[in-house]
Chain A
Amino acid sequence: MSAFSQHFAFEFRTGIRNKTLLLMNYLFPLGFYLMMGFIMPEINPPFLETLVPGMVVFGILAATLLGLPDPLVNARETGIFRSYKINGVPSSSILIIPALTTMLHLVIVTAIITATAPLLFDAPLPVNWFGYVVTFMALACACAGISVLIGVVSSSSRITVLWSQLVFVPSMLLGGLMLPYSMLPDAAGKVAQLLPATQAMNAFNGLAMGKVADFAPWGSVIALFASGLLGFALAIYLFSWDSHNTKRRGHPLMGLLVLLPYVVGMLLA
């Protein structure tokens, strides 16, 4: 097996073996999906129409924002990166392989949600599977890019939680998972457009679920992919092997550039 496949296999197993990652990759998204599926349609029947994309978005947010950054910070602070450097593991592999294995876990979770939602809750399935898969990939790329960037720029686990929650909490409130984008006040709508979850729900609605998008759905897909790629590029640029002894190439606030595609999209809309 090549170095890449050995590394990929190890990181994939870690996503199940590590209790925190198992929680973020599977237990939390699937538990939340079951809870929402049983409770929300009773309270708010239209919620059922977006149950599948909404819970897929939630799963991606949880696995990436809550699962990816902290292991990166811990690995840097406990000398694992130094050990990797000495043994020839490139920084790109350190950042990209955990993101790819998380995406593979997300494929499994998404498949479970998509397969069981019609049976358990009578939730509608996507009408356009291509749009569904593309939007899933775009959001997974965007959130993984932001998450590894948070892991790279954060100086400690506490800072990681702060940055992750700065994206996760507004995504839950304004991202279209609980309330449709159209119901948000104008100012909140503008803020919401800076969130990957909002762009993803817009693309799911317009490209996969056969509903009317609030703004250009392919624009959302492009912004998500661009943001994800920018996130990975910035993470590789800002990466440091050791927070004590090596200098970072740029200022951590450069990481905010990851929001640029959403800002451009908002200005063009």
Chain B
Amino acid sequence: MDDYAIEVRDFRKTYGDFIAVDGISFDVKQGEIFGLLGPNGAGKTSTLESLEGLRSPDGGSLRVAGIDPAREPRKLRNVIGVQLQSGGLPEGITPDEVMKLFCAYHNVAPRFDLLERLGLNEKRKAQFAELSTGQQRRLALALAVAHNPQVLFLDEPTAGLDVASRVELHGLVRELQAKGTSIILATHDMAEAEEMSDRVAILLGGKLVTIGTPIEITAAGAGLTKVSVHTQGNTLIDPGLRFPAVSQQSVKDDYAIFFSTDIGQTVSALIAQVEAAEDTLIDLRVERPSLEDRFLEITTTGGSQ
């Protein structure tokens, strides 16, 4: 039990007759970055907010760092950090003031170094309403991590951020992970989820349709792997050639392009063909289907695959 920062068992959330989350179960390990993905209305927000103690579950059980969020909300406050999607701060409050205020309620010293690190040093005396969207999100992150929470919830953490801020934020998240913080990342940015997450769960219609590492999830899909090959003698650019597990092939800019259902078989056969033709391999690129491709596949098929 101690290995898990979060335990979700048969969790169910309803709003009147509408079932927002229908009996899902998953765990998040200590020090793990766990991506929670799904289209709008999939049940992500209901799940996250129930784990954060903002909503009460209608069935099943939730544990965050061993705490029941609905029954022990006060204990929960000091072990979780939450970067809310919307601002959620008074318009007139300054980053300095809110850092002092929330740290005082968490009974820790204010972490002004986080404001500096997240590029808010020059805005420390500016009112919240005067901050840009990106600055507001960075402030929300600084506040979420200021008390060194055991579990951090990030909801669309990089929405509205420029590239440099995004890299800085990812670096900070990795540091927190290295210190043992477990992180739940809810995002629509599939590239970010694939890059950051150790494991990913995809929700659809209130049900958990798949869970695993990004590689496991993409490998389980029906998507074709693209193999692009360039040789000195262009011996592969021959429409008459046939290779195992290749369903489509084409040519672009001296590259022979193959779409394979079994990458091992196809690449072995391609290399054998190049050697047999006494040609020389210049470049070979393999592009697996991305998490985004797999996500689209799952959401368009309703999770039946």
Contacts and interface: CB of A to CB of B under 8 A. Distances in A.
B107 to A, nearest CB: 8
A18 B92 contact: yes
Contacts, number: 74
A79 B84 CA distance: 9
A88 B84 contact: no
Given A7-B101, A87-B77, A79 B92 contact: no
A3 B108 CA distance: 10
A86 B82 contact: yes
A10 B104 contact: no
B74 interface: yes
Interface in B80-117: 80, 82, 84, 86-93, 97, 100-102, 104-107
A87 B89 contact: no
A93 to B, nearest CB: 8
A87 B143 contact: yes
B89 A83 contact: yes
B54 interface: yes
Interface stretch (A114-122, A214-222, A241-249): A241-249
A80 B128 CA distance: 12
A17 interface: yes
A17 B101 contact: no
A44 interface: no
A6 B104 contact: yes
B242 interface: no
A182 interface: no
B78 interface: yes
Contact of A10 (B73, B87, B97): B97
A78 B104 contact: no
A80 B90 contact: yes
Interface string B21-57: 0000000000000000000000000000100111100
Contact of A88 (B49, B52, B77, B127): B77
Interface residues of A, number: 25
A150 B224 CA distance: 61
Contacts of A13: 92, 97
B104 A3 contact: yes
Interface in A222-269: 241-242, 245-246
B105 to A, nearest CB: 4
Contact of B88 (A3, A6, A14, A82): A82
B150 to A, nearest CB: 14
Given A78-B88, A79-B88, A86-B54, A3 B77 contact: no
Contacts of B82: 86
A123 interface: no
Contacts of A86: 52-54, 77, 80, 82, 84
A27 interface: no
Given A10-B93, A17-B92, A80-B90, A242 B54 contact: yes
Interface of B: 49, 52-55, 73-74, 77-78, 80, 82, 84, 86-93, 97, 100-102, 104-107, 127, 143
Interface of A: 1-3, 6-7, 10, 13-14, 17-18, 75, 78-80, 82-83, 85-89, 241-242, 245-246
18 contacts: A7-B101, A10-B97, A14-B93, A17-B127, A18-B92, A78-B86, A82-B88, A83-B84, A83-B89, A85-B54, A86-B84, A87-B143, A88-B74, A88-B78, A89-B105, A241-B54, A242-B54, A245-B55
